[in-house]
């Protein structure tokens, strides 16, 4: 940065001649145009007629420019700025909606069973039953004519109210019955959840209320702003807007243990924790009882304590397999016992990012492109060695996989199995973690019932002695879960950096921050939002370095950096 501290360092102006007759033009934007540019950059809309009138009434040129500066300060403190940052991040991250798994609306991230009300005119009108349970339940009898079980409780989706569950949903027994290939099988309800005749659990947390005619549509439809599928995809962008609004360092986007979510989205994280065996979550009401989260920071459009607010929460408190520990190391080649999980890493361990991209290489590629501004493009006119088994070291694909696989290795421990039925049925596996996500050695051979995804994918692509799976054949035979090694070994580098052994997406996040790639990428996107154009990292390297230096020196906070851009000569000259 130049001695003056100007945010325009690296872009030099011609030196004025000093001749009073030289006719040099003052190219500063007129106050009216500067107001328009500021409004478009900070809130995405032009100024109102009233704002233009107030500008005109401010007085001379200096007074009008002071008016624009006050306008910038006021707008940065308004909810419109939060919404602008959210929209910017949503376009930037472009996280896809979780794909359907069968006929719409078969969708399963929530991992809760669907409940619907008994219709008017039935003996149990207004009570809640499993969607697919026999209709006779609403008449008070089971399919064999015995009275149905009934239970009243305070549900998680409607605190301080009481609802009635009937039939299997109301079952509180430790054991239940489900069907496997058409035959009844006894199951332990605490382990399988609301499977078969097992109930919804305390406060019905293992189930969700569906108020629509057909179960699933309420959460599935992308245009339902309160649907969980929409929430899941928006969480990363909401987290970015939250950091900007509350003046948090942007590195928390990928290094933090916290995120933001309404109650309905937090339920999905709790269900993932329950699926992994953390049954203590059944008795935790901190995620659904408003009095327990009334003090959490929220978005500017909702009040604290509102279940619909995008409020801050600690991810490990909802899913304990996303760890609070920042330096967790686990090497499946040498460590005895199961992995405790992967450290929480902001948007990189969000369900939207992990479930929206179904494979580790897709996650790695999108993380590099989105958060490190890497360009993964095919080469032209080059000859490569023959491809045999490892795209990271063989064939033409190695041009990208040499960079891609050291990123993808961090995203192995999350995969989807099965299909969903009205929001229940699909499972999201964290292989090798905890007590639930382990399988007999037959999975590695593809034997029944391990012939489908994700096992078939793991068997095809997690091959020993490859860049993605740097374990020996002997190590994989001794412990098949060794193929889930998910940290960058010291013999590999990513963006010129050696990893510190931290497993999972957090290990990747640490690397791109240490490389400076994350800071440069964030600065480029914020610059594009405010200035209307990206920074060319090749032709404007000095300018980019100066902007990044100022961004980092300011604590990596969005609001003060955005304001400094609006104060720059380049902004005020329309460049």
Q: What is the DSSP letter of 216?
A: T
Residues 126 and 71 in one domain: no
Among 496, 515, 550, where does a domain finish? Answer: 496
CB neighbourhood size of 441 (10 A): 12
Domain count within the chain: 4
Q: 62-97 in b/e burial notation, b at 16+ Cβ within 10 A? A: eebbebbeebbeebbeeebbbbbbbebbbebbebeb
Mean pLDDT of the chain: 92
The answer to whether residues 510 and 502 touch, using CB atoms and an 8 Å cutoff, is yes
Is residue 511 a part of any domain in this protein? no
* pLDDT per residue as tens digits for the range 15-43: 555 555 444 456 899 999 999 999 999 99
d(CA 159, CA 154): 6
Kindly state whether residues 129 and 186 are assigned to the same domain.
Answer: yes
pLDDT band of residue 2 (cuts 50, 70, 90) is very low
5 has pLDDT over 80: no
Please check whether residues 457 and 365 belong to one and the same domain. yes
The per-residue pLDDT for 105 is 66
Q: What is the pLDDT of residue 377?
A: 84
Residue entry with tokens 């230096």: 549
Please give the distance of CA 275 from its chain centroid, rounded to a whole number: 19
Asked if 69 and 179 sit in the same domain, the reply is no
> Which residue has better confidence, 176 or 567?
567
146 within a domain of the structure (yes/no): yes
Determine the pLDDT at residue 534. 97
Q: Is residue 372 located within the same domain as residue 464? A: yes
**Is position 445 within any domain?**
yes
Q: Provide the sign of the torsion angle of the four alpha carbons 542, 514, 367, 519, taken in this order.
A: negative
Q: Is residue 412 part of a domain?
A: yes
Is residue 572 a part of any domain in this protein? Answer: no
- DSSP conformation class of 374: -
Give yes or no for residue 140 having a pLDDT over 60: yes
- The pLDDT of residue 7 is 63
Q: Are residues 355 and 432 in the same domain?
A: yes
Q: Do 53 and 137 lie in a common domain?
A: no
Residues 491 and 391 reside in one and the same domain: yes
Q: How long, in residues, is the chain?
A: 575
Q: What is the DSSP string of 88-104?
A: HHHHHH-PPPPPPSSST
Give residue 22's pLDDT. Answer: 47
Residue 73 confidence (pLDDT): 98
Task: State the residue range of the domain holding 39.
Answer: 31-93
Q: Quick one: 406 and 471 in the same domain?
A: yes
Q: How far is CA 492 from CA 22, 413, 467, 506, in A?
A: 60, 20, 8, 17
Assess whether 361 and 486 both reside in one domain: yes
Q: What percent of the chain has pLDDT over 90?
A: 77
Q: Identify whether 394 is part of a domain.
A: yes
Task: Examine the fold and report which residue of 480, 496, 512 is the final residue of a domain before the chain moves on.
Answer: 496
Classify residue 212: in a domain, yes or no: no
Q: What is the pTM of this model?
A: 0.94
Last residue of a domain, one of 496, 520, 545: 496
Question: Do 422 and 491 fall into the same domain?
Answer: yes
Residues 311 and 373 in one domain: no
Residue-level pLDDT at 193: 77
Asked if residue 3 is part of any domain, the answer here is no
């Amino acid at each position: 940065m130049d001695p003056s501290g100007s945010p325009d360092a690296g872009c030099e102006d011609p030196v004025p001649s000093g001749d009073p007759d030289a006719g040099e033009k003052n190219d500063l934007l007129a106050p009216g145009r500067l107001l328009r540019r500021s409004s478009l950059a900070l809130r995405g809309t032009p100024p109102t007629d009233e704002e233009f009138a107030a500008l005109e009434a401010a007085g001379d040129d200096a007074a009008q420019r002071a008016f624009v500066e006050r306008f910038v300060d006021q707008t940065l403190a308004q909810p419109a700025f939060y919404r602008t940052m959210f929209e910017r991040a949503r376009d930037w991250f472009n996280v896809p909606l979780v794909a359907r798994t069968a006929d719409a609306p078969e969708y399963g991230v929530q991992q809760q069973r669907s409940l619907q009300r008994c219709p008017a005119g039935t003996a149990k009108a207004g009570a809640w039953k499993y969607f697919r349970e026999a209709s006779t339940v609403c008449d008070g009898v089971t399919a064999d004519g015995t009275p149905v079980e009934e239970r009243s409780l305070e549900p998680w989706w409607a605190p301080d109210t009481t609802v009635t569950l009937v039939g299997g949903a109301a079952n509180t027994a430790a054991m239940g019955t489900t069907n496997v290939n058409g035959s009844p099988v006894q199951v332990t309800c605490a382990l399988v959840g609301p499977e078969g005749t097992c109930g919804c659990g305390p406060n019905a947390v293992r189930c969700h209320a569906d108020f629509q005619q057909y179960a699933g549509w309420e959460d599935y439809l992308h245009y339902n702003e309160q649907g969980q599928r929409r929430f899941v995809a928006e969480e990363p962008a909401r987290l970015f807007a939250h950091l900007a609004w509350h003046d948090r360092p942007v590195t928390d986007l990928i290094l933090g243990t916290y995120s933001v979510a309404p109650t309905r989205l937090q339920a999905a994280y709790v269900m993932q924790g329950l699926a992994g065996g953390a049954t203590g979550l059944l008795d935790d009401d901190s995620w659904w009882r408003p009095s327990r989260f009334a003090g959490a920071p929220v978005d500017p459009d909702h009040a604290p304590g509102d279940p619909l607010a995008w409020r801050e929460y600690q991810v490990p408190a909802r899913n304990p397999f996303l760890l609070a520990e920042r330096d967790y190391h686990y090497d499946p080649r040498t460590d005895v016992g199961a992995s405790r999980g992967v450290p929480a890493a902001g948007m990189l361990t969000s369900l939207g990012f992990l479930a929206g991209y179904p494979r580790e290489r897709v996650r790695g590629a999108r993380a590099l492109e989105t958060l490190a501004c890497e360009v993964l493009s095919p080469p032209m006119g080059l000859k490569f060695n023959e491809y045999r088994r490892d795209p990271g070291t063989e064939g033409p694909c190695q041009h990208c996989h040499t960079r891609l696989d050291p990123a993808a290795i961090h995203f192995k421990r999350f995969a989807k199995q099965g299909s969903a039925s009205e929001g229940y049925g699909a499972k999201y596996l964290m292989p090798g973690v905890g007590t639930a996500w382990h399988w007999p050695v037959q999975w590695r051979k593809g034997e029944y019932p391990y012939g489908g995804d994700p096992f078939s994918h793991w068997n095809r692509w997690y091959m020993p002695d490859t860049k993605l799976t740097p374990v020996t054949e002997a190590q994989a035979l001794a412990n098949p879960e060794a193929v889930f090694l998910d940290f960058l070994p010291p013999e590999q580098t990513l963006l010129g950096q050696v990893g510190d052994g931290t497993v999972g997406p957090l290990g990747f996040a640490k690397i791109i921050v240490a490389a400076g790639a994350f800071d440069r990428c964030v600065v480029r996107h914020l610059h594009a939002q405010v200035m209307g154009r990206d920074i060319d990292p090749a032709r404007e390297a000095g300018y980019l370095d100066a902007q990044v230096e100022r961004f980092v020196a300011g604590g990596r906070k969005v609001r003060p950096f955005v304001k400094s851009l609006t104060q720059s000569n380049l902004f005020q000259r329309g460049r």
